[in-house]
């Protein structure tokens, strides 16, 4: 899975932000900020072994955060989006038309990895006007 992030200087520190994860870290320099965003993902998932690659884009202040294990990253994306929307697992399940919250929860818990089409449906249930997310699987 690949997510887009932005690097920006704020005073004497550099900030690394991944909007789709509602994540922001800071570092003394660009490289430090990128190391910190990688550590943030691993820490929040409790997976220090998770293979994550953070690469600055060749132009501008963007970067990509890539993880070959889509399951944990999809679970994190769904959980962060749901929490930001102030929804419970049950509320998202209702929006999906599911009979049980477990139908949605299994994706958020990383027990199942949705197809891109299903991921779009899940994200639409959380944010009906999300307009699409800039992510790819790989």
How far from 68 is each of 51, 54, 79, 138, CA to CA, in Å? Answer: 7, 12, 19, 6
Provide the b/e sequence for 21-57 (b: ≥16 CB within 10 Å).
bebbbbbeebeebbebbbebbbeebebeeeebebebe
3-state helix, strand, coil in the chain (%, to 5): 45, 20, 35
**Structure pTM?**
0.84
- At the second CATH level, the architecture of 2-66 is 2-Layer Sandwich (3.30)
Q: What was the pLDDT predicted at 137?
A: 46
Closest CA to 50 of 133, 110, 118: 110
Structure confidence by residue, pLDDT tens digits, 58-85: 888 999 999 998 899 999 999 999 999 9
Structure confidence by residue, pLDDT tens digits, 27-58: 999 999 999 999 999 999 999 999 999 999 88
In the chain, residues under CATH classification 1.10.260.40 are 70-126
Query: Band of the pLDDT at 134, cuts 50, 70, 90?
Result: very low
In the chain, residues under CATH classification 3.30.160 are 2-66
For residue 133, what is the DSSP state?
Answer: -
- At the second CATH level, the architecture of 70-126 is Orthogonal Bundle (1.10)
Query: Band of the pLDDT at 15, cuts 50, 70, 90?
Result: very high
Structure confidence by residue, pLDDT tens digits, 94-124: 998 887 888 889 999 988 899 888 898 899 9
How far from 84 is each of 21, 34, 47, 80, 96, CA to CA, in Å? Answer: 10, 23, 22, 6, 18
């Amino acid at each position: 899975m690949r997510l887009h992030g932005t690097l920006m200087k704020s005073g004497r520190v550099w900030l690394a932000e991944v909007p789709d994860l509602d994540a922001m870290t800071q570092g003394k320099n660009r490289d430090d900020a990128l190391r910190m965003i990688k550590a943030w993902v691993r820490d929040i998932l409790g997976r220090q072994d998770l293979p994550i690659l953070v690469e600055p884009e060749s132009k501008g202040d963007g970067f990509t955060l890539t993880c070959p294990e889509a399951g944990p990253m999809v679970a994190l994306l769904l959980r962060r989006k749901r929490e930001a929307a102030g929804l419970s697992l049950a509320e998202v399940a209702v929006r999906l038309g599911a009979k049980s919250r477990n139908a949605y929860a299994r994706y958020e818990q990383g027990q199942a990895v949705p197809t891109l089409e299903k991921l779009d449906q899940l994200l639409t249930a959380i944010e009906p006007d999300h307009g699409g997310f800039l992510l790819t699987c790989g």
